[in-house]
Structure 1
Amino acid sequence: MLITLATMKKLHPNQEKLIHILRESIDDPLTMFELMEELDVASTSVVHHHVKQLEKKGFLKRNPSNPRDYQILEDPEKPITYINQYGLAECGPNGTILDGSPIDRIPIASRILKFPTEKAFIVVAKGDSMEPRISSGDFIIGEKTTLANDGDIVVCVNEEKALIKQLYRKDTVNILHSFNTAYPPFISAEDFKIEGIVRSILKNNI
């Protein structure tokens, strides 16, 4: 679905133009200086202002560690979104923790998610294998995906159990690591599948 005229009326003309430029160049992102030239504005600070406004209004999401990695959202996201929470439970053969009904729906500010909200899910960490970074009871926000890079922290299924682990690969072998050195790394089982990548950790200090 394309951005409608009604939603575009909420945007400054430069922001409307910027959205079209960003969409057309998404496969080869432009620098702030190149965006400044395309917009025909006086400085990169003007571009930065309009980029921040597009983020604030819910039309644009950028990777904080790589601002040129971004997504254009066809409909502005609401300030608060409700994300499904699932349990870290045994899944059964070919199971997934994201099947079935969520155990709760958690309100989260959309702006803290640097990816589309429809891909978000929440699980609550169990055990101490990922300490000190992740403690039992912490709320984990994941992005649904079946793909991950070396070093990503993933929510996964392995031997019919849902786990949170750091993933490394050696040739075609998946090796699952814990942060707690009391738990040695191990090779994934045949039923291993990635449910999503951990994007945020909300500490539970109760």
Structure 2
Amino acid sequence: MRKIHKTQEKLLDLLKSTIDHPLTIRELASSIGEQSPGVIHHHLVQLEKKGYLKRNPNNPKDYTILDSGEKLIVYLNKYGTAQCGPNGIMLDDNVIEKIPIASSLLKFPSSEAFIVEARGDSMEPKIFSGDIVIGRKQEYAEHNDFIICTYNEEVMIKQLKKGNDGLILYSINSGKYNPKKIEAEDLKIAGIVKNILHYD
């Protein structure tokens, strides 16, 4: 990777040490003795351009350090509840907390991973209420993929089926929940389910 400025070195060390409790740009500036938040923003942009950092453009507290490869433990963003059934909570850019996860559970870059907590029983016995679901961020899905999505302002976890008649959101617990035929323009896919952590 490219050589970085001394201020960027200090900033990178600070970002590493506070990744589980991220600081605002003003707090970062204060911590390294820099008066101007604008200077910090400039150095963050440079760190990203040089391949040391990946940031969420909508949330300055959401970032991944890239300079040392995947660690044994990575911190994934938890965005809230995804309903297995009706009345989910909207996914947005507000990270509720960062959850430590063994990187060995991921078969893809941790910068593309996020977490939601499942609620409801429509995906039993595959996903139970209270399970931690790890998704991979992407806005598309294939037939039979399990997706974390928003439909009619409800966040949910469903199996996506594609047929001649269009798209269907399918519940594993089909004895209690009927398949739902949907319009593609009303569906927003946040990611694909990659891991499910069950809790007794």
Q: TM-score range by the shorter chain?
A: 0.5 to 0.7
Aligned position for 1:204? 199
Question: Offset of 1:137 from its aligned partner?
Answer: 0.3
| Counterpart residue type for residue 152 of structure 1 | D
Comparing both structures, which one devotes a greater share of its residues to strand? 2
Question: Offset of 1:120 from its aligned partner?
Answer: 0.3
Which ranges of structure 1 fall in alignment gaps of 5 or more residues? 3-72, 92-96
Aligned position for 2:154? 161
Aligned position for 1:113? 106
- State how 1:4-153 maps to structure 2 within 5 Å: 76-88=69-81, 89-91=88-90, 97=91, 99-153=92-146
CA spacing shift, 1:173–1:102, aligned 2, 3 Å: same
- Deviant stretches of 4+, over 4 Å: none
Question: Offset of 1:74 from its aligned partner?
Answer: 8.2
Aligned position for 1:62? none
Which ranges of structure 2 fall in alignment gaps of 5 or more residues? 3-65, 82-87
Output the CA distance in 1 between the equivalents of 2:199 and 2:68. Answer: 32
Question: Offset of 1:170 from its aligned partner?
Answer: 1.3
Question: Offset of 1:172 from its aligned partner?
Answer: 6.9
Q: How high is the TM-score relative to the length of structure 1? A: 0.59
Aligned position for 2:5? none
Output the CA distance in 2 between the equivalents of 1:78 and 1:134. Answer: 27
Aligned position for 2:55? none
% identity of equivalent residues: 47
Output the CA distance in 2 between the equivalents of 1:76 and 1:148. Answer: 27
Cα-Cα RMSD: 1.9
| Counterpart residue type for residue 120 of structure 2 | G
| Counterpart residue type for residue 105 of structure 1 | K
Question: Offset of 1:75 from its aligned partner?
Answer: 5.1
Matched, 1:185 2:170: no
